[in-house]
Amino acid sequence: MRMTSTSENYSSQNTALAGKSLPCTSRAEALRRVRAIITHPHFSPYKVLVARQQRTVVILNPKVGTTSFRHLITRAYQEVLGHRDPSDGHYKPIKKARQFPFASLRDYYHAFSHPEEYDFYCFVRNPYSRLKSAWVDKFAFGHQTGYPRSIRGKLIRQLRHFARSHDLAGGDKNSQVPFTTFVDYVAAQETGKRNHHWDAQHSVLMMDRIHYSQIFKMETQFAPGMTTIFARLGITEGWISEAMEKPQNESRKITESIFTPELAEQTRRIYARDFALFDYDVDSWKGK
């Protein structure tokens, strides 16, 4: 399988991946591999595309093109591959299975118990940009327009309680949660236990349990990555290129820079492993 330097470097540093390229030798080993994935805090069928026939798995990374990927792959399954239902009728009571191709339980089991037969793909993003995007999308305007469903309720209450407990701005019910408070809140949480929109990417992508064939950077490799993945599924470069011309996610943005040297240093500490694994410049915060 073709590896990026990122994937190779990560594998060499993590003994947990050493057996990932070896065939399963027993049912017990197969079950162990599957259990390691599906019990991970960040595992969700809504973030995992399994195409068994094409031996392809894509793990989605929130705030890294996930909305676009879901929209385009669902369109492709229906318009190009002829699936009336992207999940082929699996999990009928689950609304998200109508919005993204959920595989059968048998296919998830096969992919995770026989990873040596598959190519695993994912996308990553500059940690500064991803953290800013999470704040803008989930908190920056919520006090005016309402918070997203994934945030309102328990999570926003927790964040406001954190702000009040630490004498930070954003503790009052109708006030904005500033970026500075958000970064302090993220820093106070343990990697692997944060919300997947702002947890470390190596944790969200379960990289201690999955050996990736190729890792694409969103900034420079999103289109080539999409073309590579879709081609494996039998979808032409022409179709995906045309489909990607229209933006799929037009969420609100803040164009001005919001990082200070102090916030950048704090972010570097939070995502030190991501910066190293994915080869992002720790000084790339300027202008973000």
Tell me: do 14 and 152 sit in the same domain: no
Tell me: do 157 and 272 sit in the same domain: yes
What is the chain's Cα-based Rg?
20
Q: Which pLDDT score is estimated for 249?
A: 65
Taking the C-alpha atoms of residue 154 and residue 100, their distance in angstroms, rounded to an integer, is 26
The range of the structural domain enclosing residue 260 comes to 128-198+252-277
Tell me: do 257 and 236 sit in the same domain: no
Q: Which pLDDT score is estimated for 253?
A: 79
> Is pLDDT at 247 greater than 90 in this prediction?
no
pLDDT in tens, 148-189: 988 988 999 999 999 999 999 999 999 999 999 999 999 999
Taking the C-alpha atoms of residue 278 and residue 201, their distance in angstroms, rounded to an integer, is 10
The pLDDT > 70 percentage for the chain reads: 90
Taking the C-alpha atoms of residue 7 and residue 21, their distance in angstroms, rounded to an integer, is 13
> What is the pTM (predicted TM-score) of this model?
0.89
Tell me: do 115 and 79 sit in the same domain: yes
Tell me: do 207 and 66 sit in the same domain: yes
Mind giving me the DSSP string for 41-89?
A: TT--GGGEEEETTTTEEEE--TTSSHHHHHHHHHHHHHHTS--SSTTTT
What does residue 52 show for φ and ψ, rounded to 5 degrees?
-65, -45
* 160 within some domain: yes
DSSP-derived letter for residue 125 is -
Q: Which pLDDT score is estimated for 248?
A: 66
* 287 within some domain: no
Tell me: do 116 and 166 sit in the same domain: no
Averaged pLDDT score across all residues of the chain: 91
Q: Which pLDDT score is estimated for 25?
A: 59
Tell me: do 42 and 75 sit in the same domain: yes
When pLDDT is averaged across residues 93-97 and rounded to a whole number, the result is 95
Tell me: do 105 and 187 sit in the same domain: no
* 228 within some domain: yes
Tell me: do 101 and 45 sit in the same domain: yes
Helix H segments across the chain?
5-13, 27-38, 66-79, 105-113, 127-135, 142-145, 154-165, 179-187, 201-204, 218-232, 237-243, 261-270, 272-277
Taking the C-alpha atoms of residue 101 and residue 70, their distance in angstroms, rounded to an integer, is 8
Q: Which pLDDT score is estimated for 114?
A: 94
When pLDDT is averaged across residues 230-239 and rounded to a whole number, the result is 96
